[in-house]
Structure 1
């Protein structure tokens, strides 16, 4: 396996473990989402294949800045910056968005196949802890993460209205805007400012 392919496998395995599977895989995840790297490297899918240097390289080179490393009491730990479905992860270093002027836009990217359901019932965090948003479209050079480059539909949120009615929004360490939605994990269509559709030919319609 080439080094590039090996790094992709490591990155995907890190995402799976840190965001979704740590508990069922028996890893000691704390409330901030951190796991000692030594535990990660001893996991059955990684044991004997990777080193701490490999993890450091994947974290440093990840263009979405999905991961964060820290050293605590001599132990190197890693976490995913967002995207968790693990309910035990509650203490991510998220910065609350208190004023609509703090972000230029709040945009959720999705696909045409989801559009009718979204218009009808709203955006759902589904099995994750948050709905993910970006402050700009995926072709912007300033966007690191939060919206897929392949997205065909862009849902803009009326942040002022949503905040005024009690919905919470946060900024993650890698610039993603996150919201847990309402008590049912939903952001209702009444909070949509506009919806734009980007067709595969490159045009945009509203």
Structure 2
């Protein structure tokens, strides 16, 4: 599968597994899962023919490991696996789902990529999830830089995750290594880069 098609399929999956499943007639379960065959049929009905092989390729090849495929109804293969009959997005939902991720102790520091135009609000209010369920934090500066660069010249914020955790804030980590927090108050942020 060529790179343009891979990107197109990944964006299609993100749209319908994270934000607008109803647009193609999908209903995600409470944890964000949907049957792979149901997804493929819905996509075809709405003019986006997608084979199982293409879906498996996108799940396996996606550098951000955005999706997980698993067997049955008791969990299964972690992010990037392609064996199974259910699929979900690993994080970033704007629709109501409970990813059922346990609390986890974060590393001492995490990172968040942003742009200059967001900094006044961040200084005043900290990081908020906006339309998503959680604030997304990266385990390294390089990833945060790439995230910030999607919206312009990136700035990287260092999050004192260790201090936040000691202060009682809860962190979770998705199957693809993205750290999630309900919010990050300004006092735990430092601008670098």
TM score, norm. by length of structure 2:
0.82
Moved over 3 A (4+): 44-48
Question: How many positions carry a matched residue from both structures?
Answer: 180
Q: 2:85 aligns with which of 72, 76, 98?
A: 76
Quote the residue 2:173 is aligned against: 171
Q: Distance in 2 between matches of 1:153 and 1:83?
A: 20
Shift of 1:23: 3.8
Match of 1:124, SS state, is: coil
Contact 1:108 1:147 in 2 (8 A): no
Matches within 5 A, 1:1-206: 3-44=2-43, 47=47, 49-72=49-72, 76-87=85-96, 89-90=97-98, 92-98=99-105, 102-138=106-142, 148=147, 150=149, 152-181=154-183, 187-192=184-189, 194-197=190-193
Change in CA separation of 1:146 and 1:20 when aligned onto 2, cut-off 3 Å: farther
Stretches of structure 1 that go unaligned for 5 or more consecutive residues are 182-186, 198-206
Structure with larger Rg: 1
Bigger strand fraction: 1
Shift of 1:116: 1.7
Bigger helix fraction: 2
Stretches of structure 2 that go unaligned for 5 or more consecutive residues are 74-82
Q: Distance in 2 between matches of 1:120 and 1:42?
A: 46
Contact 1:107 1:137 in 2 (8 A): yes
Contact 1:133 1:146 in 2 (8 A): no
Change in CA separation of 1:177 and 1:121 when aligned onto 2, cut-off 3 Å: same
TM score, norm. by length of structure 1:
0.77
Shift of 1:175: 0.7
RMSD: 2.5
Shift of 1:30: 0.9
